[in-house]
Amino acid sequence: MHTTRQLLLTVGPESADLPGFSQRAIQAALDHVAALGGGTVRLLAGTYTLRNAVRLRSSVRLEGVGDDTHLVKAAEVTSPLDDDSDWYDDWVSVADPAGFQVGDGIVLQGQDPHGGPAGLHRTKRTVVAIDGHRLYLDEGLNKNYWALTHEATASTLFPLLWGEATTDLEVADLRLDGNRAQNSLLDGNHAGCIFLQYVERAHLTGVTAHDCHGDGISWQVANDVHVLGCHVHDNVNLGLHPGSGSQRPVILENHCHHNGQGLFFCWGVKHGIAEGNLLEDNRDYGISIGHRDTDNRIAGNTIRRNAQVGVYYRAEEPAARLPHRNQLLDNTLEDNGAAGEGIGLWLRDRIEGTVVRGNRFRDSGGGAQRIGVRIEPEVADVTVDKNRFEGLETDVDDRRA
């Protein structure tokens, strides 16, 4: 029988194929294995300190040995820019270069000097040289950062693991620590413990993603991403963030707690499966679903003690942009919301084709979850049947009558 053999390269202590506990050692191993057509990089036990994102590679599996493989983000270094840079420049000038190192991952943030949409624009780059106050970068800016008239900064903020325009990648059995006490916010469209963008076919298995000043695991315009048996907790923003345009996510048997939200379906997430997850004690919603998130199956999850609503449908206009034809089957929704205000499932706007079947809505006696299902007057079409209700003030608050 023919057996395919691929390279296995170990990283970490002196006994490893490639000794080192930095992102440089990890990146060197990933790049080497990718250059040979794929295989596995195994991070042995130890604490790896990251000063830049580890860039995941196509057809390469990055695995640890469990929580004893600990990747932690280094403390942030930040400085205002003290000179203008234009879109074609490959450098910025910082007021205080102390603390920046060659190889650092940075994000530039500044107001658009040309009156674009409100808020910051951002550029992620790597420092390749330092000369006095100038940080030279691996690529041009592609945006204007005019520090003399518009505030701008350079900060060592980045995702711990980053997959961009890759296929068939895997991450398994390791712990990611965002070190939020020593790092400021970089939102889920730019960072997270894991950030994937324009990715096809990714498997994330047995990963712990915690303590990030952003999201736990975020994927944007990424198809067929499987998140299996991960532990995602104590992140400032979203726990699991299937992002805009992501098709067919498979989210199974994860534990998400003490995040801003447990599971956030972003824009246009379609034909996804979320089953067997435990979503508890998040500061806002257990699950949030909204803009063009259609044809998803949410089944067999336990959604409990989330501070606002168990499952929340976001408002949209016009109706074509609503989350239609989603199924909520055989879930347990209990003790969600503040005392006297809690709602298990809140259905809003002119959604069509929603099925709510076989779920258990429960308040255990504390009076937090007062309502099982709230259906707003404009809801167009929903099937609610074969559910169980226990200890609630109102089982189904149907406001369409």
Query: How much of the chain, in percent, has pLDDT values that exceed 90?
Result: 89
12-51 pLDDT, tens digit each = 999 999 999 999 999 999 999 999 999 999 999 999 999 9
Are 296 and 337 in a shared domain?
Answer: yes
Are 58 and 120 in a shared domain?
Answer: no
Are 220 and 279 in a shared domain?
Answer: yes
Residue 54, classed as helix, strand or coil, is strand
Residue 2 is assigned to a structural domain of this protein = no
Q: Residue 332 carries which side chain, given as an amino acid letter? A: T
Q: What is the pLDDT of residue 345?
A: 98
Residue (of 159, 119, 23, 137) closest to 81 by Cα position: 137
The mean predicted confidence, pLDDT, of the chain is 95
Q: Which helix (H) or strand (E) holds 337?
A: none
Q: What is the pLDDT of residue 59?
A: 98
Taking the whole predicted model, whether its pTM rises above 0.75 is answered as yes
Strands 46-50 and 332-334: unpaired
Last residue of one domain, picked from the residues 155, 187, 211: 155
Query: How much of the chain, in percent, has pLDDT values that exceed 70?
Result: 97
Are 19 and 32 in a shared domain?
Answer: yes
Q: What is the pLDDT of residue 227?
A: 98
Are 175 and 319 in a shared domain?
Answer: yes
Q: What is the pLDDT of residue 1?
A: 45
234-287 pLDDT, tens digit each = 999 999 999 999 999 999 999 999 999 999 999 999 999 999 999 999 999 999
Read off the CATH number of the domain in which 272 is found.
Answer: 2.160.20.10
Are 260 and 296 in a shared domain?
Answer: yes
Domain count, the chain: 2
Confidence of residue 4 (pLDDT cuts 50, 70, 90): low
In 10 A of CB 265, how many CB atoms?
Answer: 29
Are 294 and 318 in a shared domain?
Answer: yes
- Average pLDDT over every residue of 353-374: 96
Are 42 and 116 in a shared domain?
Answer: no
Residue 188 has pLDDT above 90, yes or no: no
Are 129 and 194 in a shared domain?
Answer: no
Rg (CA), the chain: 23
Which residue range(s) make up the domain with 141? 78-155
Last residue of one domain, picked from the residues 123, 155, 187: 155
Residue 170 is assigned to a structural domain of this protein = yes
Residue 379 has pLDDT above 90, yes or no: yes
- Average pLDDT over every residue of 143-160: 94
Residue 121 has pLDDT above 90, yes or no: no
Residue 242, classed as helix, strand or coil, is strand
* CA–CA separation, 216 and 254 (whole Å): 12
Are 120 and 254 in a shared domain?
Answer: no
Last residue of one domain, picked from the residues 155, 179, 195: 155
Residue 386 is assigned to a structural domain of this protein = yes
Residue 1 is assigned to a structural domain of this protein = no
Whether 382 and 354 have beta carbons less than 8 Å apart is answered as: yes
- Average pLDDT over every residue of 388-396: 97
Backbone angles phi, psi at 335, to 5 degrees: 60, 30
Are 148 and 236 in a shared domain?
Answer: no
Residue 217 has pLDDT above 50, yes or no: yes
- Average pLDDT over every residue of 62-70: 98
Q: What is the pLDDT of residue 117?
A: 60
Are 184 and 149 in a shared domain?
Answer: no
Residue (of 139, 130, 138) closest to 97 by Cα position: 130
Residue 342 has pLDDT above 50, yes or no: yes
- Average pLDDT over every residue of 352-360: 97
Partnered with residue 278 across adjacent β-strands are: 255, 302
Partnered with residue 10 across adjacent β-strands are: 42
